[in-house]
Amino acid sequence: MKRLAAVAALLGLAAVTACSGSTGDKPAAGGSGSGGGLYTTIDGLKPGLDVNGPINPWNPKGNAFLGFNAMRIAWSKNHLTDPNQFYPGIAASWEIAPDNSSITLHLHPGNKWSDGKPVTAEDVKFSIALAYTQGSTAFAIDPGAAGAASEVEVVDEKTVKITQDMDNPSVTFVRGVMDSYIVPQHVWGSVLPADFWDKLKAARGEGAEAEKAREEITALSEKVLAFAPPKDVSAGPFTLERMNPSEALLVKNKNFYNAANVGPDQVKMLNYTGNEQIWNYLIAGKLDNAPFTAVPADVMKRITTTQGNGVVKGYSPVSLGMAFNQSKKPYDNVHVRRGLAYLINRDEVTKIASPEGGTPAVTTTGIHQKPAAEWLGADLAALEPYKLDVAKAEEEFKEAGLKKEGGKWTLPDGTPWKFTVNVPAPFSDWISGAKAVTSQLTAAGIDAEVVTTADYPLYLKELAEGKYDVGFWLIALGPAPYNIYQRLYGVSNGWSILGGKLKHAEPGKNGNWMGGPETIEVDGAKVNPGELTAKLNSASGDEQKKIIGQLAKAANQDLPVVQLWDYVNTQFVNTNRFTGFPENDSDLLRQPSGVWIQLGMVKKKQ
């Protein structure tokens, strides 16, 4: 009886869950797949699968896996300096006007949705309408928004022309267009009102009617975000077959334009909620690919020991900086910041904290060292490198009025100087880096400590509230120069666009947690770095390059952050089942592996 009860309990578990999570009734091939085989990976963009999520690319938990069953117009290349280079997605080719005033898209002639209906220009236009409700960069309804489209024209069944509003152009207009998700109008058609485009036209005007139209369009955003198509109709290489809480199964879309070159027949997405699960999957040899994941050295060793596992590395436009709250003393003094920079051995810090995923920053420019070399050329070498130099550090501290008493540095008024750096607890590499920094500072006579915060949301809240003297901060988020310098001279340092005009909040107020003043001294002259950054949104060519040089020098001399390490994009691949993965420094490494697959790169191992 007891054994029967135990078995009954387990059978009950099976029976109750047996029919849950299915999104279709088509039987899977079973086993390890057939023909091209089964490809196993994770979705690096959305940790945590959710069977309740709609098949909706705009929904943060949507079961639309980018590159697999969710498509963009085109896939951006990981170019060092140019954000406007792409691989084909929904569009097969395109023409960009020389002055960036328009882009004309030509869709793949033979591409069809997974239900057999053709992908048309009307689908693209409709999807752009959906994008307007979400307020994307190129499709913004705010008057005067930079880089916004002024017109979307269906030229023919496979051609769409999108024109930029040249009253306030942006060099990222094309990128904004290409990053748009494309969904089938015949599935999503009920989401938008029939008069949407008339409403949009009205929204671009002035006055009460325009305001009302904008409100109506904005109100559609929640409806779009929540929309749940009854089944997956995809223009990508796969469609979602079914899910359970821990795995999702996608099967090949035979109507995809490049189906003949799509290697796998099926894709399995695995659930994860943290890096540890990814490590375990990799160690077990379960994943054919995993995107960038922070990995300690000892774990990396175990991962690479697993048969078939390999690591592909490339450029990642992300750097880590140690940011100062300049509204607090003594960090309001540039000499203190410079002195600290001279005391930090970035090579040692990176070796300890991020040996696999980072490379020591050459110096502080606000830009990852690779694009910095492109943008700045020989001028990069002319910047102060802030190599470890205790003597120079002491000179800077003394210039700031600090005193060294009994081997310890004190503030000008003689009170002890307590250096506290804050980091979020879940970020193991940041913690290691912070500890390495404080260890070096302590050795130099500074009373330094690391304080951790429970999680990232709390860390960011307290950071924004100005509670921290020093905290770690991601910078150099490119490739667009405007995006890069927004991290140093944007909202976090007081500059924001209000009513179409650039405003600066006083140090320590209205979100200016970095506490920077409106103007700083660079080479003896006053510079407004926020203004320069704002200009980058529309500048191009030599003007762009000149501004970048000015900002790099500003960051280097004023040091709102000390750039510690520049991240390396570390991708994991396993060649036991599939080959043809991108090689080191490929410009596809930042795209999901679904993009590699749809471009025909990944093949079943023979």
Partner 1 sequence: MTMFARRLAGHLARGLVMVLVVTTVSFFVIRSVPGDPMAARYEKLVEQGMSPTAAQRAVEVLYGFAPTGSLWQQYVDYMSGLLRLDLGQSLMVPGVGVSTVLFSAAKWTVLPVLAGTLLSFLIGVVMGVYAAIRRSGRLGDVLAISGSLLHGVPQYVLALLLGAVFTTLIPILPTSGTADIMFEPGFNAGYIGSLIEYATLPVLTYALASYGGWILAMKSSVVTVLGDDFILAAELRGIKRGIVFRYVARNAILPLFTILALSLGMLFGGAIFIERIFNYPGLGLMLIDGINNRDYALMGGAFLLITVAIVVANIVADLFYSVIDPRVRSGEGAR
**Widest pairwise Cα distance in the chain:** 89
Minimum gap (Å) between residue 492 Cβ and partner 1: 10
The string of DSSP codes covering 76-128 is E---SS-S--EEESSEEEEEE-TTSSEEEEEE-TT-B-TTSPBP-HHHHHHHH
Candidates 84-92, 252-260, 275-283, 410-418; binding stretch for partner 1 (CB under 8 A): 275-283
Rounded CA gap, 282 and 148, in Å? 42
Rounded CA gap, 344 and 547, in Å? 28
CB atoms inside a 10 Å sphere around CB 523:
9
The reply on whether position 260 binds partner 1 by CB under 8 A is: no
Structure tokens at 429: 């590499």
CA angle (45 as vertex; 40, 51 as ends), nearest 5 = 70
The reply on whether position 2 binds partner 1 by CB under 8 A is: yes
Choose which of 92, 154, 210, 225 interacts with partner 1 (CB under 8 A): 225
Structure tokens at 437: 């920094």
Choose which of 150, 189, 456, 521 interacts with partner 1 (CB under 8 A): 456
Of residues 119 and 187, the one with the C-beta less far from partner 1? 187
The reply on whether position 36 binds partner 1 by CB under 8 A is: no
CA angle (313 as vertex; 311, 316 as ends), nearest 5 = 140
Choose which of 39, 196, 272, 375 interacts with partner 1 (CB under 8 A): 272
> For partner 1, what does the binding mask look like between residues 83 and 122, x meaning CB under 8 A?
----------------------------------------
Rounded CA gap, 75 and 435, in Å? 39
The reply on whether position 22 binds partner 1 by CB under 8 A is: yes
Of residues 241 and 394, the one with the C-beta less far from partner 1? 241
Rounded CA gap, 598 and 66, in Å? 11
Instruction: Considering only residues 479 through 538, tell me which ones interact with partner 1, judged by CB under 8 A.
Output: 480, 482-483, 486, 490-491
Rounded CA gap, 203 and 447, in Å? 57
CA 199 to chain centre: 32
The reply on whether position 19 binds partner 1 by CB under 8 A is: yes
The reply on whether position 50 binds partner 1 by CB under 8 A is: yes
The reply on whether position 136 binds partner 1 by CB under 8 A is: yes
The reply on whether position 179 binds partner 1 by CB under 8 A is: yes
Instruction: Considering only residues 277 through 306, tell me which ones interact with partner 1, judged by CB under 8 A.
Output: 277, 280-281, 284, 286
Instruction: Considering only residues 412 through 431, tell me which ones interact with partner 1, judged by CB under 8 A.
Output: none
CB 139 within 8 A of CB 128: yes
Rounded CA gap, 357 and 309, in Å? 17
Number of residues that bind partner 1 (CB under 8 A): 92
Which position has the token pair 């089942």? 577
Of residues 56 and 432, the one with the C-beta less far from partner 1? 56
Choose which of 100, 127, 164, 172 interacts with partner 1 (CB under 8 A): 172
DSSP state of 251: E
Choose which of 458, 503, 510, 583 interacts with partner 1 (CB under 8 A): 458
**Beta bridge mates, 498:** 501
Of residues 259 and 497, the one with the C-beta less far from partner 1? 497
The reply on whether position 18 binds partner 1 by CB under 8 A is: yes
The reply on whether position 32 binds partner 1 by CB under 8 A is: yes
Minimum gap (Å) between residue 297 Cβ and partner 1: 19
Rounded CA gap, 380 and 258, in Å? 44
Minimum gap (Å) between residue 436 Cβ and partner 1: 23
